[in-house]
Structure 1
């Protein structure tokens, strides 16, 4: 940035004589270090509210006489302005007002250095600065430039203050995150480059505020409210999706992604924000929950609000606000798409750190802000900020959207087995939803478990005591209601009598190991006969592929067989799904729903258990010469390779490499045939133009697979040239 700003006359109708002010030095380098804003912009001064920053005025005359001139600064924000008399003594100033002070030793024959302090509750925005110089005869005014003002988590009076610097380094300054995805049985992770130091990102974040409906509707009111991080988080949350406004991302969860980028191919926020900015606020296609959340996290960190990306495994979408989720299965274990409720295998949102004076000190701290457009809040597609402690304590009246967030992490799941429009089995699971809640640990790629911050152990212990006494009454209500709903679906299940559950038989379904593409899936059903009678059982197993956030698709594997069991016997039934039985429908990171229904042929009682798990991607190796830390503007070689472990020859194998901030475009290697044990590799030259953390991404596919079967990510740390 050019610190020496040329002076222009103010255009607000003031007549000017000969100008005595020559240049203004915004002291950007020193201010950026002092305000922890290094790297956010090389075009303008970026400072934090409530902390003084320096400004040096240089004059034409060598005789700057304090006794005959008064110096006044004026800050403008839209149509709002405040005049700031420059003090030349140590008189106290009001921290709620703007102040400007010249300290002893900062006055020279041709220059004066002024320390400007904004109120701690100033609005986040771009401000314009004027200088007024008054003598006994005239007043000269100069427009000297603009500066950006951000929240200040280092300052104790700021509502976003964090007490520990190690937290601020992770949740404000770090441009790198780790996303956790998949299922609780096989958690996968991928790095994400938040990219707040990439060129254009600060400008995009500020533009986002300027084109929000709130600003376009009432600029004056919006500027005033921007001092409040609660307000800012709701505005930004709505603007990350494009459902109601000129927002950044368009969501897409089904079908193809023609005309855009498949959500799984993004690896950083900077590319998305810059595309939006350069397209004059046209939505970027396409996003899903982790993309929405990661972009929101970037914007909040840029604005100075501590933020982190959080994954909820088995997140419920409670469509009827009942705090209960219903799932339906046929008598052969097929999951049926009959409910408006749903459970996402994982859902990603953001936690932002702030005080909540609107609710009281007891609700300060981490707040859930969810930009994925699911339900409207206050008439727009946003969610939060919802205090995490309100969810844990079940304070459902606390703003904003606490009931929806509470259901996401703590709803009960009722699994109903149906046959010919009749309810023939019912189980209640109080532990499935919100089973695990992860975020990246401070200073490490390992996950930090946040489950206890959302869920109260005491509540679940109490519900465990009363659950059995409530079962029969709730069951009767559900049976009556579901008989009405299921009348249009009798053809899905064969005829059969209704039945109950029995304490004499227990059934559990387990997945052995962590299945990877090209390997067998091994299932284990454990049946315990607690009675003194031998039984003949019918075992039904069903496997269906599904998206992480939607209903199951068609069955790709099933099994039906008769199984005898002796009194008090514990029977383990092993089953294997070979790669040849799933490779035409499953790819890397796809999720499988498997269910088992055991029927007692004598009593006709049925017992259900179900599991969902994801198929791991085969490994892609990525190595950078000299290690994973590189210098800016220097060329490095990266070698990317994939070795096939498949027991068949793969046709038309493609290895693709890309990386925002490291590579231009995509680089591909192709082989017509790739045999077991053979390798496909691609060598690329990378060079980073800016410091920070970048992500190199590689994918592998072949013609027999329905999609990319492997996607890998590699973190690269970029430092300034030595």
Structure 2
């Protein structure tokens, strides 16, 4: 696009210059194609570092005379500038310095095309470009304009270089991903629109860097450090949450969300970034781990750092770095909130791709960066970048936060049964944490299993000595447990617990084994069926008491009050294997459980002769009934063409649902929310809504539908549908 030149207020400017700059053509379409930046901005020329880009200078009535007039470009970033003398050359000079050249074939009487190349380790930022036309006696200066410089994963010398085209297509250019949530027993997925091609998203990402504490403290130092993707990733990770800066998202995990947006209702990073940017950097309410991670993935991809969203199923939060997490249960199987450490049913973070010269080439590749505010790292709420290979090999001293992240995927769960202040049973689970680790596959919506990449088949002892040891590792207080009021002894501090079952084997009670399994995939409206398998490996019969307990829990927190329990005396013969079936009918859980809720079920078997207890536990999520979404002509639509989307829900419950509401919305496809409602929705009856969608920009969009009813206000079904928007 042609841009009118602007003369700077330069004290050296004179009217004696033989040549005047009239117009500048940024050659944006061609530059954006060659730099893989098409669609990122409508306002700025966007190019990648270390790769030449070109601008065409058009002069006034008098053409430029290279014999008596020199062209000098000046690049400004902050308070620092660098002069670049334009050369006639077929070769590029030092790749570590700015350079500019003219090919003879690009010279015309009234214009000249200048090819500019930045150093491969340039800062990611918005630059200002000036042109000086100099003679021996005069200098006339012009403000050429601005351009944005990004990391370059296509360039071998860039620390974020990725060798394969399918990788850069997936981890840089693709504007959507898949999020995996739930539990290993019932994994749910939803598409997410990263939205890096939505208008204003690039500008919001650049603003994020400009309002960081590092930039506000010393902008020139910040600019100098922005060449390093390690520094960039830590800065951006901290800025996605707002805990100690002007960051994007405020987290919330319980209570009312009426003064914001419930985390489960987001499906697009662009909506969040727009809201933050247009509100003068006020935090957007609210996010949880998958929202934090998805927004960070967008920012990383926009700025040129290859990134992907990763889900860890059963992720441990180990605050004291012990690589073990304790859970406490009553003698009747009720889970207690006694430990500050916890296990999240799923946790979502980001992996970004880069070389790690600070650690050595053995630590290059994927790095974990976790923007969800959990604990401080070197005084700020961020986590990483931590090499995945360091996690697998348990090099806990590697920059940054390797011990904390290793515990997230490989900690042991120690389950303790307590009664009247005594520990009466203990099991150790070495398999549950990090049971599955998923990300979206390249070129497919199917999950790629990364578990083996994080976890060695043979568990290795932690190693703390590597080439570099962090100056300030994650700082946390060593917390044993919290004071809590429990059902088995009143107010009690878990540090007061005594071992009342010394000598009992872990997971066994004198030849007694117990396991707990869930039949099928539990779904709202159907009974929950469980099977307790009890094995008596001893040579004598046993009399035991079985206690079974079920509680609703948050995916990242402790269970709430029990909603179902049962107990029974059982006689088991020597060598016998008993399979005990248990059913929780819909009528006994529907007032407590909503779709996608997570349930903790635990069984405690107590030997009535020895008073020894053994426990088995299982957690699973409840699936919601599905909402159908269909788009006329298929899921690929043309930009600005009108299409019809048909959204419907069939009542599969055996009873009438009152106050049924079906809601449809979609960023970049629909304006606002569109609803259909019925006072009564009988069994087998359908509620549907037809909407007209028009895509306002190319890329991938997400259409979201929700269904709710007043019988159980907490029960909400959701479905997400991916729509690809083509320009022609």
TM-score where L is the length of structure 2: 0.94
Q: Which residue of 2 aligns with 1:396?
A: 396
Q: Which residue of 1 aligns with 2:489?
A: 490
Q: Which residue of 2 aligns with 1:655?
A: 662
Shift of residue 63 of structure 1? 3.4
Shift of residue 432 of structure 1? 1.0
Q: Which residue of 2 aligns with 1:474?
A: none
Matches within 5 A, 1:98-497: 98-459=98-459, 490-491=489-490
Match of 2:108, SS state, is: coil
| CA separation of 1:401 and 1:650: change in aligned 2, threshold 3 A | same
CA contact (8 A) 1:618 1:709 kept: no
Q: Which residue of 1 aligns with 2:701?
A: 694
Shift of residue 320 of structure 1? 2.0
CA contact (8 A) 1:24 1:58 kept: yes
Instruction: From 628, 632, 645, give the equivalent of 2:639.
Output: 632
Q: Which residue of 2 aligns with 1:477?
A: none
Q: Distance in 1 between matches of 2:532 and 2:416?
A: 20
Q: Distance in 1 between matches of 2:243 and 2:449?
A: 32
Q: Which residue of 1 aligns with 2:688?
A: 681
| CA separation of 1:176 and 1:534: change in aligned 2, threshold 3 A | same
CA contact (8 A) 2:338 2:482 kept: no
CA contact (8 A) 1:16 1:141 kept: no
Shift of residue 90 of structure 1? 2.8
Unaligned runs of 5+ in 1: 464-480
| CA separation of 1:75 and 1:377: change in aligned 2, threshold 3 A | same
CA distances 1:412-467 after superposition (whole Å, capped 9, x unpaired) = 1100001000000000111111111100000011111111111111217x89xxxx
Q: Distance in 2 between matches of 1:116 and 1:537?
A: 81
Shift of residue 137 of structure 1? 3.1
CA distances 1:575-620 after superposition (whole Å, capped 9, x unpaired) = 1111111111111100000000111222222110000000011110
Shift of residue 484 of structure 1? 10
Matches within 5 A, 1:52-67: 52-67=52-67
Q: Distance in 2 between matches of 1:99 and 1:279?
A: 39
Q: Which residue of 2 aligns with 1:20?
A: 20
Shift of residue 282 of structure 1? 0.2
Shift of residue 149 of structure 1? 0.2
Q: Distance in 2 between matches of 1:498 and 1:700?
A: 50
Q: Distance in 2 between matches of 1:482 and 1:547?
A: 20
Shift of residue 62 of structure 1? 4.8
Q: Which residue of 1 aligns with 2:540?
A: 533
Q: Which residue of 2 aligns with 1:69?
A: 69
Shift of residue 12 of structure 1? 4.2
Match of 2:107, SS state, is: coil
Match of 2:459, SS state, is: helix
Instruction: From 496, 507, 512, give the equivalent of 2:514.
Output: 507
Aligned: 1:611 with 2:610: no
CA contact (8 A) 1:540 1:559 kept: yes
Match of 2:235, SS state, is: helix
Q: Distance in 2 between matches of 1:629 and 1:488?
A: 56
CA contact (8 A) 1:497 1:604 kept: no
Instruction: From 596, 603, 622, give the equivalent of 1:589.
Output: 596
Q: Which residue of 1 aligns with 2:465?
A: none
Shift of residue 192 of structure 1? 0.2
CA contact (8 A) 1:9 1:16 kept: no
Q: Which residue of 2 aligns with 1:573?
A: 580
Q: Distance in 1 between matches of 2:68 and 2:561?
A: 86
Match of 1:622, SS state, is: strand
CA contact (8 A) 1:699 1:708 kept: no
Q: Distance in 1 between matches of 2:133 and 2:610?
A: 96
CA contact (8 A) 1:47 1:149 kept: yes
Alpha-carbon RMSD = 1.9
| CA separation of 1:448 and 1:244: change in aligned 2, threshold 3 A | same
CA distances 1:15-57 after superposition (whole Å, capped 9, x unpaired) = 3317611000000000000000000011110000000001100
Match of 2:391, SS state, is: helix
Q: Distance in 1 between matches of 2:296 and 2:88?
A: 43
* Number of residue-to-residue matches in the alignment: 700
Shift of residue 563 of structure 1? 1.6
CA contact (8 A) 1:314 1:343 kept: yes
Shift of residue 64 of structure 1? 2.5
CA distances 1:301-322 after superposition (whole Å, capped 9, x unpaired) = 0000000000001000012221
Shift of residue 145 of structure 1? 0.4
Q: Which residue of 2 aligns with 1:705?
A: 712
Structure 1 segments (4+ residues) deviating >6 Å: 481-488
Shift of residue 293 of structure 1? 0.2
Instruction: From 544, 549, 554, give the equivalent of 1:542.
Output: 549
Q: Which residue of 1 aligns with 2:475?
A: none
Q: Distance in 1 between matches of 2:91 and 2:340?
A: 65
CA contact (8 A) 1:617 1:710 kept: yes
Q: Which residue of 2 aligns with 1:523?
A: 530
Q: Which residue of 2 aligns with 1:470?
A: none
Mean alpha-carbon deviation: is it higher for 193-202 or for 88-97? 88-97
CA distances 1:248-295 after superposition (whole Å, capped 9, x unpaired) = 000000101021000000001000000000000000000000000000
Unaligned runs of 5+ in 2: 463-479, 493-497
Q: Distance in 1 between matches of 2:229 and 2:194?
A: 20
CA contact (8 A) 1:309 1:350 kept: yes
| CA separation of 1:102 and 1:144: change in aligned 2, threshold 3 A | same
Mean alpha-carbon deviation: is it higher for 270-279 or for 12-21? 12-21
Shift of residue 502 of structure 1? 2.5
Q: Distance in 1 between matches of 2:160 and 2:365?
A: 9
Q: Distance in 2 between matches of 1:711 and 1:290?
A: 16
Match of 1:458, SS state, is: coil
| CA separation of 1:115 and 1:708: change in aligned 2, threshold 3 A | farther
CA distances 1:129-170 after superposition (whole Å, capped 9, x unpaired) = 001101233111100100000000000000000011100000
Q: Distance in 1 between matches of 2:156 and 2:622?
A: 47
Aligned: 1:4 with 2:2: yes
CA distances 1:597-652 after superposition (whole Å, capped 9, x unpaired) = 11122222211000000001111000001100011111111010000110111111
Matches within 5 A, 1:26-37: 26-37=26-37
Shift of residue 715 of structure 1? 0.4
Match of 1:690, SS state, is: coil
Q: Distance in 1 between matches of 2:81 and 2:578?
A: 79
Shift of residue 61 of structure 1? 2.8
| CA separation of 1:116 and 1:675: change in aligned 2, threshold 3 A | same
| CA separation of 1:487 and 1:175: change in aligned 2, threshold 3 A | closer
Shift of residue 92 of structure 1? 4.6
CA contact (8 A) 1:420 1:496 kept: no
